[in-house]
Amino acid sequence: MELIPIHLETLIPPKDNLLAKIKASSLTLEEHDVVAISSKVVAIGQGSCIPQEGVDQDALIKEHADEYLERSLVPGGFVMHTIMGGTLIPNAGIDPFGGYYVLWPKDPKKTAEELLAWFKQEYGLEHLYLVLTDSRSVFLRRGVIGMAVAWAGFEPVYDNRMRADLLGEKSSGSQTNIPDALAAAAVFVMGEANEGTPLVRIRNAPYVANPQTGRKEDFNTFTFSKEEDIFAPFMRDLPWKKGGQA
């Protein structure tokens, strides 16, 4: 799998022309490439930015979250834990930048599908795939890792329960989370500071071009409730509160 970070001219909030800056970049695409793009530049392209002056960040987070935990519950109060669209993400994905709070893109799944359609038309290709990325921390690990805010053009779960292991025996039941795997690799090469490469071309990515047929119906949705999650013991009894997007 090959990942090539693409430099874009800096997008300035509250709104900037993302598509024009992509067209002005060095990006080239071939059939079956994956485009990974930072949710932040997409949000600036949409104008999903709120001036910081006079705005209480925690109130803004609560307004945009599906569910949240109060900041006082986090060691040092560094973040508010929130759930957005079935994803655990700090601060409802809201980041300060250039005097604004940059939100997540509006309706991320629809946005991903619209962006994918634009890339197909602009680059004259039929088979492309897209992932909107962001960063988050994970349990008991310092540092951040990329995750998928949304995806388009491919099945998000590859079901290894339909396969045999190296000894020819039935696989134990793992399923591959394709959007987050691609996002983690892409965000790693995007960087987290002043690299200026919020767009990554991924070539020869496994699974995306080969949707499975006859997949098992049970336990095969990409997102599900926190009550069903294997991490439910760590989340069940926490004082989650409903946010404005619940």
- Assess whether 143 and 40 both reside in one domain: yes
Strands 241-242, 67-68: pairing is antiparallel
172 and 91 in one domain? no
Structure tokens belonging to residue 42: 């997409």
Tell me, what's the pLDDT at 227? 82
Residue 211 · residue 73 · CB < 8 Å: no
Q: Identity (one letter) of the amino acid at 181? A: A
- Per-residue confidence (pLDDT) for residue 226, from 0 to 100: 78
Neighbour-count burial for 126-162, b at 16+ CB within 10 Å, e otherwise: eebbbbbbbbbbeeeeeeeebbbbbbbbbbbbbbeee
Domain region containing 53: 49-103
Quick check: is 227 in a domain? no
Domain check: are 62 and 179 in the same one? Answer: no
As beta bridge partners, residue 199 has 6, 37
In a shared domain, residues 95 and 139: no
Q: Is residue 217 part of a domain?
A: no
Contact 18, 12 (CB under 8 A): no
Residue-by-residue pLDDT tens, the chain, 246 positions = 999 999 999 999 999 999 999 999 999 999 999 999 999 999 999 999 999 999 999 999 999 999 999 999 999 999 999 999 889 999 999 999 999 999 999 999 999 999 999 999 999 999 999 999 999 998 889 999 999 999 999 999 888 777 777 777 877 668 889 999 999 999 999 999 899 999 999 999 999 998 776 666 666 677 878 788 888 888 888 999 999 987
Co-location of 36 and 134 in the same domain? yes
The pTM for the full model equals: 0.92
Same domain? For 74 and 196 the reply is: no
Judgement on whether residues 4 and 66 belong to the same structural domain of the protein? no
Q: Are residues 90 and 127 both part of a single domain?
A: no
Q: Give yes or no: residues 97 and 113 share one domain.
A: no
> Domain of 147: which CATH number?
3.30.1330.100
173 and 123 in a single domain? The answer is: yes
Please give the helix or strand (H or E) that residue 105 lies within, else none.
none
Question: Which residue type, as a one-letter code, is found at position 59?
Answer: A
Q: What is the pLDDT of residue 231?
A: 84
Among the three residues 103, 120, 143, which one is the final residue of a domain in this structure? 103
Residues 98 and 181 in one domain: no
3-state secondary structure of 30: coil
Domain count, the chain: 2
In-domain check, residue 196: yes
